[in-house]
């Protein structure tokens, strides 16, 4: 899977193995393929780039309701998206744990299409509050190429299709993007993702002062700092991955 796209993991700063970290991943894409390969497998050499760090990736609770499949997910370091689960990992003594959250979640998948850089982040502040409560550094992570893997039927906000998708998500808990990629023997239509490179760039940790009961002002301040660092990370690396110079991140 790593060689199909291919997928690569880029390190820009050291992670101290004596500490625990909370990492925000962007964007979700349709299938979060790059994030899965980099965090849940050793295909890109995570343990060599970040020795002493054990990664975990949060996933919708729905997928953990199925016996055997749940156990398969857990072997890759996937964990439920509960506050209790996050607290357990972030408070482990001795450090060496990284908890990954795809901040935009399943709803952001509805915006995933080639050339799209709109992130569902403006009002998503729970991860910043979590970092403050447990006093762990926040790590911004951006996967260049994640949105290039599939085309998606036009579903702009306000359209009947987006309304239907939003209603289904409220009922089912998962989003249903109408996407297509390539086939096995032809390249014009199918459910296989396009073979386009994904580069997941891990940014510099943002230091966070432990605040067991943070105020809304403290959460907002850290959230804005995180957005600024994520934008800096994107701007510093976008030209390497064929993103137009005049393209910038958008937030909704």
Q: What is the pLDDT of residues 15-45, one digit of tens each?
A: 999 999 999 999 999 999 999 999 999 999 9
Q: Which residues contact 85 (CB under 8 A, 6 or more apart)?
A: 58, 79
Report the alpha-carbon distance of residue 67 to residue 74 in Å, rounded: 11
Report the alpha-carbon distance of residue 158 to residue 216 in Å, rounded: 30
CA nearest neighbour of 222 among 83, 120, 129, 134 = 129
Q: Is residue 77 a contact partner of residue 39, using CB atoms and an 8 Å limit?
A: yes
Q: Is residue 113 a contact partner of residue 29, using CB atoms and an 8 Å limit?
A: no
Asked if residue 248 has pLDDT above 90, the reply is yes
pLDDT at position 133 is: 97
Mean pLDDT of the chain: 95
The SS3 call for residue 206 is strand
Please write the tens of the pLDDT for every residue from 56-112: 999 999 889 999 999 999 998 999 999 999 999 999 999 999 999 999 998 999 999
The SS3 call for residue 146 is helix
Residue 97, CA atoms < 13 Å, CB-side half-sphere: 20
Give the phi and the psi of residue 172 in degrees, each rounded to 5.
-95, -25
Report the alpha-carbon distance of residue 167 to residue 163 in Å, rounded: 6
Please write the tens of the pLDDT for every residue from 134-147: 999 999 999 999 99
Beta bridge partners of 78: 57
Q: What does pTM read for this prediction?
A: 0.94
4 conformational bin, left if phi > 0, alpha if psi -120 to 50, beta if neither:
alpha
CA nearest neighbour of 21 among 3, 43, 8, 39 = 39
Asked if residue 179 has pLDDT above 90, the reply is yes
The SS3 call for residue 73 is helix
Tell me the helices (H) and strands (E) count for the chain, helix number first.
8, 11
Asked if residue 154 has pLDDT above 90, the reply is yes
pLDDT at position 217 is: 97
Radius of gyration of the chain (CA): 18
Percent of the chain past pLDDT 70, that is, above it, reads 100
Asked if residue 185 has pLDDT above 90, the reply is no
């Amino acid at each position: 899977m790593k060689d199909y796209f291919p997928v690569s993991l880029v390190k820009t700063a050291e992670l101290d193995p004596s500490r625990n970290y909370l990492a925000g991943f962007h964007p979700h894409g349709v299938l979060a393929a790059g994030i899965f390969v980099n965090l849940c497998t050793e295909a890109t050499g995570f343990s060599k780039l970040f020795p002493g760090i054990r990664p975990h990736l949060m996933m919708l609770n729905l997928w953990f309701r199925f016996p055997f499949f749940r156990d398969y997910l857990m072997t890759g370091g996937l964990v439920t998206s509960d506050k209790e689960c996050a607290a357990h990992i972030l408070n482990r003594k001795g450090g060496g744990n990284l908890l990954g959250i795809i901040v935009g979640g399943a709803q952001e998948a509805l915006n995933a299409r080639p050339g799209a850089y709109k992130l569902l982040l403006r009002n998503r502040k729970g991860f910043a509050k979590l970092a403050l409560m447990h006093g762990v550094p926040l790590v911004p992570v951006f996967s260049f190429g994640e949105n290039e893997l599939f085309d998606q039927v036009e579903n702009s906000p306000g359209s009947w299709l987006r309304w239907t998708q939003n209603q289904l998500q409220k009922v089912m808990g998962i989003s249903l993007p109408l996407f297509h990629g390539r086939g096995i023997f032809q390249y014009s239509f199918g459910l296989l993702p396009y073979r386009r490179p994904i580069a997941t760039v891990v940014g510099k940790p943002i230091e966070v002062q432990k605040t067991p009961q943070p105020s809304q002002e403290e959460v907002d301040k850290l959230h804005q700092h995180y957005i600024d660092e994520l934008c800096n990370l994107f701007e510093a690396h976008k030209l390497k991955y064929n993103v137009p110079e005049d393209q910038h991140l958008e937030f909704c």
